[in-house]
Amino acid sequence: MVELIVFVLMGGATLAGAITVIKARNPVYAAIGLLGTLFAVAVLYVVQLAHFVAAVQVIVYAGAVLTLFLFVIMLIGVDKEEDQSETIPHQRRLAAALGLVAIGIAAVLVARGQFAWVPIAAGPADPQATNGTVQALAEPMFTDWVLAFEATALLLTIAAAGTIALASFRRPRADTRAERAGR
């Protein structure tokens, strides 16, 4: 019963945040909507006993990623209104129809039993078997998944190096000076 109440409240918050992201004219409002969605999803993780994943969600997503988004929004300015005209005729309506068709196809596939191997209609198999404590997650992570773990470490290093390379891009000095003289 508790799970039902939490699911309804947080599911509503998730969807409300998502709608804010795609509707808000101002990117800052979109970022705040995204924050709401991220927190609501974190609560849904806690209800499903994925404690460590929920903590990482709040720290990495709501903490680091969203702060980065807000920094960039402030950096490149929020005063410009987005062009709301439609380049492709009926773009919005077509996109909405496409989304509904995708959900419909998924519903038909589930209804026809294509995903019968996932016991989605029954309750959780054994709630305690998937209690995602730090200890329970660390054990497979550093044994079965250690290769993937090292690969993500490499990925993060490469991403950091690439970002520094992108961010420190400067025009050659002589160029800027010539431009200033030209003015």
Partner 1 sequence: MNLVVTPGWYMTLAAVLFALGALGILIRRNALVMFMCIELMLNAVNLTFVAAGRALGSLDGQLAVFFVLVVAAAEVVVGLAIIVAIFRRRQSASVDELSELAG
What is the per-residue binding string for partner 1 in 49-88, x denoting contact by CB under 8 A?
xx-xx--xx--xx--xx--xx--xx-xx---x-xx---x-
Give the shortest CB-180-to-partner 1 separation in angstroms.
17
User: Could you say which residues in the range 128-157 bind partner 1, by CB under 8 A?
Assistant: 129-130, 132, 136-137, 140-141, 145, 148, 152, 155-156
> Is the distance from CB of 33 to CB of 17 less than 8 angstroms?
yes
Nearest to 98 by CA among 86, 110, 87, 90: 90
Residue 183: both structure tokens together: 């003015």
What is the per-residue binding string for partner 1 in 105-124, x denoting contact by CB under 8 A?
-x---x-------xxxxxxx
Give the shortest CB-182-to-partner 1 separation in angstroms.
19
What is the per-residue binding string for partner 1 in 20-49, x denoting contact by CB under 8 A?
-xx-x--x--xx--x--xx--x--xx-xxx
Q: Under the phi-then-psi rule, with left for phi > 0, alpha for psi from -120 to 50, and beta for the rest, what region is 119? A: beta
